[in-house]
A and B are shown apart, each in its own frame.
Chain A
Amino acid sequence: MAISTHSTADFSAMQSQPARVHAAFEPRQFFYNIHWRSRTYHAGANLTSHHGNGSDFAGFANLLACPDPKRIDIRASVRTVPQQWLVRTYLERAAVRVFAIVDVSSSMLFQGEANMRQQVTEFVTALAWSANRQGDVFGMAAANDDVQSSWQILPTFQTGTAQVVAEKITRYWQSNHAVSGRNASAIPAAIEEIGAQRALVFLISDFYWDTALLQQTLKAAQAHDVIPVVLRDQSATEGMPAFGWARLRDMESGEERSWMLRKHLHQQIGAHLVQQKHMLNSQFMKAGTRSPLWLAPQWQAEEISRHLMETMA
């Protein structure tokens, strides 16, 4: 496919470039699947629960109830007592709504070894592109302490959405590059704006959240098929300098911390990280989301596809 060659070429070009925010749109397509039935009527690739002209066999119906002679099933009709004409019925395939809910709190602006903002841009753009290619609806919302209206993309089938997304996000990063002290408290509100109808929700955040916010968010997203996308910078926790004294300030709470980095402290932090990861996973599991997607800086569309397919059920 033309798209895949294009994407690999762009990917190698990106690696050689310094990490910075730019509006270059790189189409990368990954595939997702759902295990539930869509309720929309717009033609698409996903299972629905309503009958129509799809290819998924639903059952038999009386010819009088479903007057479509070209689907008369003679073998099934012969076996009926008393004799009647049976017609095969099929389920329709329809589109689903795919949403990207992005956490744009201050911690997402962390400048570490990888450019977090660039990663968000790339992933959301690729998601918009993929949803568009699969004929699904794409919508987007972002929130820190408020829902960000500049990120708002109402559910749309329109082609070229990915380009619009890339442009919007880039413009946002350029105008808000170093805002500190913003939490992600409006994320539940952003999710609630999706509506009650079930949607595929990619929740993109670093998930450096307190438990209350996480619970609130997961509760708000209960109706939806949620895929947590965890974006964390390695240098903040794991790839720390081996030795030295550093003063740190939390980007959101402004909390001060002094760390005399050494082996002992590294062990403590490491243990804490493992515990934190366990806790996050178990909370996702309890809330019934899909297993979280830990996004590495140089992610490949194939890996994303694999993860989404594997964790479909």
Chain B
Amino acid sequence: MWDEGLQTAILASGFGEHWGLMQLWPLILLPLAVLPWVLQDKLSFSHPALQGLPADPLSVWLERSWKVAASLFILALSMALTGPYLKSQMIEKVGRGAHVMIVLDRSASMNEPFVKKGDVQARLPKMQVARNVLKTLVQQGHDDLMGMVTFSTSPILAAPLGTDRAFVQAALDATEAGGMGFTAVARGLGMALDYFADQPVTGARAIVLVSDGGAHLDGKTQDMLRAMVMRQQASLYWIYLRSENGVSLKQSLGEDENIDAYPEYALHEYFQTLNVPYHMYEAENPEAVLAAVNDISKLKNKPTRYLEPVSRQDLSQYAYAMAWLVTAVLLGLTGLELKRWQT
């Protein structure tokens, strides 16, 4: 019966669930807190006759505060030794900014520079340009949630959607290894959209697609992607890194041109039919990429509400602070105390 009562008490207090103790053995020191109430006659002077002599309210309070302080001192130190902590918790935070999923093309064509001729500065690979610019995007907007998916033939999750910037930066650094394979845009987008699926809609969602080319999507894939985008309410930004000889999406195709020969153009047209905010930045050089990213980073929209995990919190500092406080009280009282009765 006692065990049951104890268990319910422990459960009700949330022990193990919300908080815990690093060590249990200092708990056996807790009963020492009765010492100040028991050991009195060791500390007091003998007096032949106190009966009838006046009792002083101030003195009574001094005595009480001494006892309480000494008890608290022992309790606080014992508690500090047990090392109480709050377990990791989710804290709701209100952030301003967007949920941004970066979808980065890592196909082999990304290793090529924008132009074939020119100086070294101009012939940086597109991937490196994109990486540098995206890094500045990641650095800005501290309240944004960010994530990254890279794709070539198949998508790879580089960093899940979250507040951890270092994660995304590291994922960007990891793209220094050269790209390879084809451009499977649909699967990359699908994966990025999947990460929105777990999250409550607490802010604007944006997908930043960085790629230098498109791919043909068959009808089924198109429908699926459309449905997903609609469901997640994500706006789409496409930074199109146009090669020197690539097609420009800004100009409409001529009558005689076959749209199937230009997958980028087909993709652009498809994106426009998605019924979500869509914007395409065509970048022929590093400066244009930077301009596009700056544009996206200005996306300041409704406040974002999200839960942030807080690592477990050590509570023993409060116990130590308490011990310090009562030590001050005890020191004061000790200073006031008479060391010997006779003058």
The answer on a CB contact under 8 Å between A247 and B49 is no
Q: Which residue of A is nearest B58, CB measured?
A: A260
Whether a CB of chain A sits under 8 angstroms from the CB of B59 is yes
Interface size class for chain A? 35 or more
Interchain nearest-CB distance for B68 vs A (Å): 13
Question: Which one of A105-113, A127-135, A164-172, A286-294 contacts B?
Answer: A105-113
The answer on a CB contact under 8 Å between B333 and A257 is no
The answer on a CB contact under 8 Å between A246 and B48 is no
Instruction: Provide the bound-state CA to CA distance between A246 and B45, in Å.
Output: 7
What total count of A-B pairs have CB within 8 Å? 115
Interchain nearest-CB distance for A33 vs B (Å): 32
Taking CB atoms and an 8 Å cut-off, the chain A residues in 214-265 that contact chain B are 232-233, 235-237, 239-242, 244-261, 265
The answer on a CB contact under 8 Å between B343 and A250 is no
Instruction: Provide the bound-state CA to CA distance between A206 and B51, in Å.
Output: 13
Instruction: Provide the bound-state CA to CA distance between A237 and B59, in Å.
Output: 17
Q: Which residues of A contact B50 (CB under 8 A)?
A: 248-250, 253, 255, 257
Per the CB 8 Å criterion, the residue count for chain B at the interface is 28
Q: Which of B52, B62, B342 contacts A235 (CB 8 A)?
A: B342
* Contact string against A for B residues 22-54, beta-carbon threshold 8 Å, 1 for contact and 0 otherwise: 000000000000000000110111111111111
Whether a CB of chain A sits under 8 angstroms from the CB of B55 is yes
A245-B338, A247-B40, A247-B63 given; A257·B58 CB < 8 A: no
Q: Which of A108, A239, A247, A259 contacts B56 (CB 8 A)?
A: A259
Q: Which residue of A is nearest B342, CB measured?
A: A235
A110-B48, A249-B47 given; A258·B341 CB < 8 A: no
Question: Which one of A151-159, A194-202, A268-276, A300-308 contacts B?
Answer: A268-276
The answer on a CB contact under 8 Å between B337 and A233 is no
Q: Which residues of B contact A268 (CB under 8 A)?
A: 54, 56
The answer on a CB contact under 8 Å between B51 and A249 is no
Instruction: Provide the bound-state CA to CA distance between A257 and B56, in Å.
Output: 9
A245-B333, A269-B53 given; A259·B48 CB < 8 A: no
Whether a CB of chain B sits under 8 angstroms from the CB of A173 is no
Instruction: Provide the bound-state CA to CA distance between A276 and B50, in Å.
Output: 12
Q: Which B residues fall within an 8 A CB radius of A?
A: 40-41, 43-56, 58-60, 62-63, 333, 336-338, 341-343
New A-B pairs, 13, CB < 8 Å, besides A248-B50, A251-B46 = A110-B46, A111-B46, A180-B46, A208-B49, A236-B47, A240-B343, A244-B336, A245-B337, A246-B337, A247-B40, A247-B337, A255-B50, A258-B59
Can you report 8 A-B residue pairs in the complex whose CB atoms are below 8 A from each other? A112-B341, A112-B342, A242-B343, A250-B49, A251-B46, A261-B338, A268-B54, A272-B54
